[in-house]
Amino acid sequence: MSVSTNGKKAMHIVLGGTFDPVHFGHLRMTQEMLNRFPTAKISLMPAAYPPHRPQPGASPQQRIEMLQLVAGKYPQLTVDNRELQRKEPSYSVVTLREIRHELEQKGVGDACLVFLMGTDAFAKLNEWYQWQELIKLTNILVVGRPSSQLPTEGEVAEFYQNFAIEDLESLPQHSFGKVGFCQMPQLDISSTYIREQINQGFSPRFLLPDGILEYINQHGLYGLNPKS
C-alpha cells in the first residue's frame, strides 16, 4: 500500500471491474496513470457480478488468477480480492470506505485515493448504491472510452461539474472530492468482444496479454476453443 514520501501525499488508484477477462484496455489505463503519477500504487479490484447481469464465463477464482498473472509481472499493480470474498453484495462505497479506513490505520489517512473508470461506467454512476457518497471518500478519474462520452446533462453531468478538478496535475494534492477526465489514446477493446470472439471460434490474440490467452485456452474459458 501507499507510503507518504517527501511530504507528498501517497497516491492509491483503484480500478474496479469484472475483468472477465482482463485486457489491454484495462492495462493501458493503468500505465497511462503511472506515466502521469509514477509513484502511485494501483489496485485491480475484481467485482462480483450483480445478479441482474449475465453471469460470466470465468469463475471469481479464475478472474482473480488472470489478474494475478498480470500483476505478478508489474510491482506497481496489485490485485484486491475483497469484493469477491464478501458473501453480501459488494458496493463500491462500502469498499472505498474500508480502504480509507485502512489508509488511516497505516498512518496515511491523507492519501490521495483515486477511483478510475471509463466513460461508460461513469455515465451510469447514478445507478450505483449511495453514489453521491463516493466523492466524500475518493477522487474519481474518468477515462475516455470509444462509443461513450462524458454525460452532458442529467445528475451525473451536474455531479461532474460540481466536483471537477481544474488541473489534473494537482490531483495528488487532494485526498478525495475531485472528479477529473483523463485524455489518452482510446482502445476499442472490451471483455465482451473478447468473449464473443472466443465463443465464435476466433482468436482474441493482441487484445490481451499472451499469458492471459494461454490461461483462457488451458481452462477452456468462454466457449469454443479459440484458434490461436
Residues within window 188-217 making contact with ligand ATP, judged by CB under 6 A: 189-192
Beta strand 11-17 with 77-79 is unpaired
Q: How many residues in the shown chain lie near ligand ATP by CB under 6 A?
A: 18
DSSP-based three-state secondary structure for 113: strand
Residue 1, all three cell numbers: 500500500
Q: Which residue has the cell 459488494?
A: 90
Residue 143 binds ligand ATP, judged by CB under 6 A:
yes
Residue 19 binds ligand ATP, judged by CB under 6 A:
yes
Q: How many CA atoms lie within 13 A of 23 on its CB side?
A: 17
- Please identify which residue in 9, 12, 26, 63 interacts with ligand ATP, judged by CB under 6 A: 26
CB 124 within 8 A of CB 108: no
Other Cβ atoms less than 10 A from the Cβ of 58: the count is: 22
- Range in contact with ligand ATP (rule: CB under 6 A) among 18-26, 31-39, 166-174, 204-212: 18-26
x/- track of binding to ligand ATP for residues 63-102 (CB under 6 A): ----------------------------------------
Nearer to ligand ATP (CB atom), residue 121 or residue 165: 121
CB of 145 to ligand ATP, least distance (A): 4
Nearer to ligand ATP (CB atom), residue 29 or residue 112: 29
CB 112 within 8 A of CB 174: yes
Altogether, the residues listed in the chain come to a count of 228
Angle at 214 between CA 201 and CA 66, to 5 degrees: 110
CB of 46 to ligand ATP, least distance (A): 8
What is the contact surface with ligand ATP in residues (CB under 6 A)? Answer: 17-20, 25-26, 29, 117-118, 120-121, 143, 145, 187, 189-192
